[in-house]
Amino acid sequence: MSLKLFSTRIQNVTPSFIREILKVTHEKDVISFAGGLPNDALFPLQQLKQASLSAFENKGSQLLQYSNTEGDLGLRNWIAQRYQAQNLEITAEDILMTNGSQQALDLLGKVFLNKKDAVVIENPAYLGALQAFRLYQVKFLPIDLHSQGMDLKQLKQTLSINNAKLIYTVPNFQNPTGISYSEENRQAIAKEIAKTDSYLIQDDPYGELRFSGQAKSNFYTLLPQQTLLLGSFSKTIAPAFRLGWIVAPKPVMKKLIIAKQAADLHSNSFSQAILAQYFEKNDFDQHLTQLKLHYGQQKIIMETAIKKYFPKNTQLTNPEGGLFLWCTLSKKISTLELFQKAIQQKVAFVPGESFYTSNIQQNTMRLNYSCADQKIIEKGIRKLAEIIG
Amino acid sequence: MSLKLFSTRIQNVTPSFIREILKVTHEKDVISFAGGLPNDALFPLQQLKQASLSAFENKGSQLLQYSNTEGDLGLRNWIAQRYQAQNLEITAEDILMTNGSQQALDLLGKVFLNKKDAVVIENPAYLGALQAFRLYQVKFLPIDLHSQGMDLKQLKQTLSINNAKLIYTVPNFQNPTGISYSEENRQAIAKEIAKTDSYLIQDDPYGELRFSGQAKSNFYTLLPQQTLLLGSFSKTIAPAFRLGWIVAPKPVMKKLIIAKQAADLHSNSFSQAILAQYFEKNDFDQHLTQLKLHYGQQKIIMETAIKKYFPKNTQLTNPEGGLFLWCTLSKKISTLELFQKAIQQKVAFVPGESFYTSNIQQNTMRLNYSCADQKIIEKGIRKLAEIIG
């Protein structure tokens, strides 16, 4: 076949490097800090089984029929009420259910992005967002991340010389770095964006997983007309359901619904009904408390092990939630080379350079702590330390 | 906000007319032949409830975890085996699970279509395909449909002067017309396409729902290297699961997987596992026999009522399966005007002109027979006949 047949958008895109890594790390005897999975021992398995039964009993055959594009009204009402409890003025009508946050990113690409349009992204950034937007052949404008959030000087300069349509952020427990934007950083970013026509995307898959520190302002309160808020049940309930959502102002929502129809008519309504049942019968906050307790402990165990075993000049972020620690080693170390050695020793992580679109810090690594227990975390970190030498 | 912010692909697209119609027809006391839903009384409700329980019991927490992009291997093996039983050389590796066939269309757009690329479509055509491809800003090349399939003269001429990347077909019980391509028509189409670099899409959501006549060749046997085969569980099991699939040659499959990752990582793996359980424990062919029996009867009831009550010059297609009848009235009648009158009398259908991209036949209508019982079908058709006068 002729390669010319493929679209230009897909011709030069390769499978994500991280996926290739994850394949290697899937073998049973590998200690993997490479993934980004929630801990499956913490899934509310019995409760979801019960919710499935209730959904069959309560909804009957309607449970299996086609449904509306926007999503299950009961579920969207539940989501809206949680926002309202945080003083965000969001109703079910402002919410579109998507197949995880990933589809929200793709739909935003469809609705906003022409070839060569500019998109501001974090540097380093979430790979799924890069992948989604890259297929719209956009120009990325990376802004370096610091421990307090985006580099404001870079952001101001970038916004002053470029007409960015979208500014993509993960302000809470960012993937890959684990950092959160400080309150001041958020206020300053909102102030800059208010001067523009741009939309800020707050991708927030980990927002409910805060195990220490104080919650910061949601961009939706700072910039209600210019914020596109993404949420997900993948990290808090079950990734297999592929259910996330997007909150958007009405004119954007209209276009998103058209794009969603064209993309797949509607999200899995069977799983939406089960989730609605689950929330009706269970205390979600109690479930979250469990998750936060575990992830908080696992983070401390990993942090402690790193401080104990890694070289003294190692720098670590201090995540207050989420699934990831970000580790910066001595400048002379390439974590990509380290990865090759580590995988031979059956321990894995993600080399940081995969996440950069500029100003690559090749001495960085992403470590996931959510899926391993104390013994495994300590063993894996000790092994890694030995390889670093 | 500025309209300029939206992508050019979305600016001029409006919500589908059919969706607007369906909203009107959703009221309880309307007799609707407008939809395209499978009959929910025929869903294997108890069996799926049981399969859900088994999935929870057999898979445990893995049922809820992230999964691979390609889809559930057990389910893909099952699909492959059904193809093999029809002598199609298809294995699980050739299959990618999608969110219904609709997502397969969107992914094909992503992988193949640049702006202004040419796509051959049926005239009249399935609206979901028009919607999906329209967002890739393509040029449609409509080929008129006859009772035996595509107009071959038009097709030859179109392919000779255009470089079409994709040829979109629904050769079995087409939506909207209910017609099937004859064996000769398929052979002739395959012969023409074999001379080109193009891919033929066989969208086949209704293929398993043949209630009369003989099965015809799958394009995959006629053109294995140039056929993209789409399948769906929406019409045979449950639309709410949003599960379909695409069969594609390896170089195309590679690109599709990248596009799928960027679109939503993977399809709902919870529902895939339940379906795999369902197929393990139940006789799918027996279930299909039930569906075909019902739909075959409903089709005959509607056909008989139309022949009894509609004007003598009414023309009808003769579907051998699927969900739709296509009715051509006297040339002077506009079914769009008829629709306005009909909806006031609480009976609904879809005016045919919605489905045309050229050579509009405004005296046509699509009638869905799958969701109403004998009494309702007769009552609705009699009412329609009175309005036609």
* List of residues 6+ apart from B338 with CB closer than 8 A: B329, B351, B365, B384, B387, B388
DSSP-assigned letter for residue B44: -
Rg of chain B in Å (alpha carbons): 21
Report d(CA A298, CA A323) in Å as an integer: 9
Q: Which of B246, B281, B316 finishes a domain? A: B281
Residue A363: helix, strand or coil by DSSP? Answer: coil
% of chain A with per-residue pLDDT over 90? 93
- Edge-to-edge strand list for the sheet holding A324-328: A315-316, A324-328, A364-368, A350-351
- Confidence bin at A4 (pLDDT 50/70/90): confident
Using an 8 Å Cβ cutoff, are B15 and A258 in contact? yes
DSSP-assigned letter for residue A329: -
Per-residue pLDDT for A3 more than 70?
no
When pLDDT is averaged across residues B132-136 and rounded to a whole number, the result is 96
Note whether B95 and B18 are same-domain residues.
no
- The structural domain count of chain B equals 2
CB contact under 8 A, B271 and A268: yes
In this prediction, residue B1 carries a pLDDT of 55
The whole domain housing A306 covers 3-44+286-388
Per-residue model confidence as pLDDT tens digits over B78-108: 999 999 999 999 999 999 999 999 999 999 9
Q: What's the CATH code of the domain at A104?
A: 3.40.640.10
Per-residue model confidence as pLDDT tens digits over A28-67: 789 999 999 999 999 999 999 999 999 999 999 999 999 9
A111, A197, A241: residue with CB nearest B7: A111
Residues in chain B closer than 8 A to A61 (CB atoms): 40-41, 43, 45
Q: Is position A263 within any domain?
A: yes
In terms of Cβ atoms closer than 10 Å to its own Cβ (0-12, 13-18, 19+), residue B116 is: exposed
In this prediction, residue A1 carries a pLDDT of 55
Report d(CA B144, CA B152) in Å as an integer: 9
Cα A87 to Cα A9, A90, A184, A250, B231: the distances in Å are 41, 9, 20, 19, 45
In terms of Cβ atoms closer than 10 Å to its own Cβ (0-12, 13-18, 19+), residue A284 is: middle
A235/chain B closest Cα distance in angstroms: 10
Note whether A161 and A208 are same-domain residues.
yes
DSSP-assigned letter for residue A369: -
Interface test with chain B among A193, A270, A274, A277, by most B beta carbons within 10 Å: A270
What's chain B's length in residues? 389
Q: Is position A57 within any domain?
A: no
CB contact under 8 A, B238 and A270: yes
Q: What's the CATH code of the domain at B353?
A: 3.90.1150.10
DSSP-assigned letter for residue B283: -
Per-residue model confidence as pLDDT tens digits over B41-74: 999 999 999 999 999 999 999 999 999 999 999 9
Average pLDDT of chain B? Answer: 95
Per-residue pLDDT for B210 more than 60?
yes
H/E stretch holding A119 reads strand A118-123
**Strand runs labelled E in B38-169:** 95-98, 118-123, 139-146, 149-150, 164-169
B328 sits in the region (left: phi over 0; alpha: psi -120 to 50; else beta) called beta
Per-residue model confidence as pLDDT tens digits over B345-362: 999 999 999 999 999 999
Note whether B259 and B319 are same-domain residues.
no
Which tokens go with B310?
Answer: 């509609």
> Which of B:147-186 have CB within 8 Å of A?
165
Note whether B381 and B359 are same-domain residues.
yes
Report d(CA B157, CA B192) in Å as an integer: 10
Rg of chain A in Å (alpha carbons): 21
Report d(CA B274, CA B241) in Å as an integer: 10
Q: Is position B53 within any domain?
A: no
Residue A187: other Cβ atoms inside 10 A: 13
DSSP-assigned letter for residue A171: -
Using an 8 Å Cβ cutoff, are B73 and B273 in contact? no
Interface test with chain B among A135, A264, A368, by most B beta carbons within 10 Å: A264
Single-letter amino acid, residue B318: N
Per-residue pLDDT for B3 more than 60?
no
CA-wise closest residue to B192 among B160, B240, B149, B224: B160
Q: Which of A229, A257, A281 finishes a domain? A: A281
Q: Is position B238 within any domain?
A: yes
In this prediction, residue A28 carries a pLDDT of 79
Q: Is position A196 within any domain?
A: yes
In this prediction, residue B48 carries a pLDDT of 98
Note whether A165 and A226 are same-domain residues.
yes
Note whether B237 and B200 are same-domain residues.
yes
Per-residue pLDDT for B15 more than 90?
no
Per-residue pLDDT for A2 more than 70?
no
What is the reported pTM?
0.97
Note whether B108 and B195 are same-domain residues.
yes
Structure ipTM over 0.90, yes or no: yes
Q: Is position A49 within any domain?
A: no
Residues in chain A closer than 8 A to B242 (CB atoms): 264-269
State whether residue B135 sits within 8 Å of chain A by CB.
yes
Q: Is position B297 within any domain?
A: yes
Q: Is position B230 within any domain?
A: yes
Q: Which residues of B268-287 are buried (b: 16+ CB within 10 A; e: fewer)?
A: bbbbbbbbbbbbeeeebeeb
A90/chain B closest Cα distance in angstroms: 19
Residue A294: helix, strand or coil by DSSP? Answer: helix
Per-residue model confidence as pLDDT tens digits over B358-377: 999 999 999 999 999 999 99
When pLDDT is averaged across residues A17-24 and rounded to a whole number, the result is 72
When pLDDT is averaged across residues A102-118 and rounded to a whole number, the result is 97
Q: Which of A249, A281, A313 finishes a domain? A: A281
Per-residue model confidence as pLDDT tens digits over A143-170: 999 999 999 999 999 999 999 999 999 9
A149 sits in the region (left: phi over 0; alpha: psi -120 to 50; else beta) called left
B95/chain A closest Cα distance in angstroms: 18
Note whether B165 and B258 are same-domain residues.
yes
Per-residue pLDDT for A25 more than 60?
yes
When pLDDT is averaged across residues B169-186 and rounded to a whole number, the result is 98
In terms of Cβ atoms closer than 10 Å to its own Cβ (0-12, 13-18, 19+), residue A268 is: buried
Note whether B84 and B194 are same-domain residues.
yes
In this prediction, residue B4 carries a pLDDT of 75
Which tokens go with B66?
Answer: 């992230």
- Confidence bin at B247 (pLDDT 50/70/90): very high
In this prediction, residue A23 carries a pLDDT of 73
Q: What is the dihedral of CA B143, B149, B153, B155, to 10 degrees?
A: 40
Single-letter amino acid, residue B235: K
State whether residue A14 sits within 8 Å of chain B by CB.
yes
Residues in chain B closer than 8 A to A26 (CB atoms): none
In terms of Cβ atoms closer than 10 Å to its own Cβ (0-12, 13-18, 19+), residue A336 is: middle
In this prediction, residue B2 carries a pLDDT of 61
Note whether A364 and A319 are same-domain residues.
yes
State whether residue B194 sits within 8 Å of chain A by CB.
no
CB pairs under 8 A between A and B: 232
Note whether B265 and B356 are same-domain residues.
no
% of chain B with per-residue pLDDT over 70? 99
CA-wise closest residue to A163 among A142, A141, A143, A134: A141
B40, B240, B266: residue with CB nearest A268: B240
Note whether B272 and B303 are same-domain residues.
no
CB contact under 8 A, A1 and B249: yes
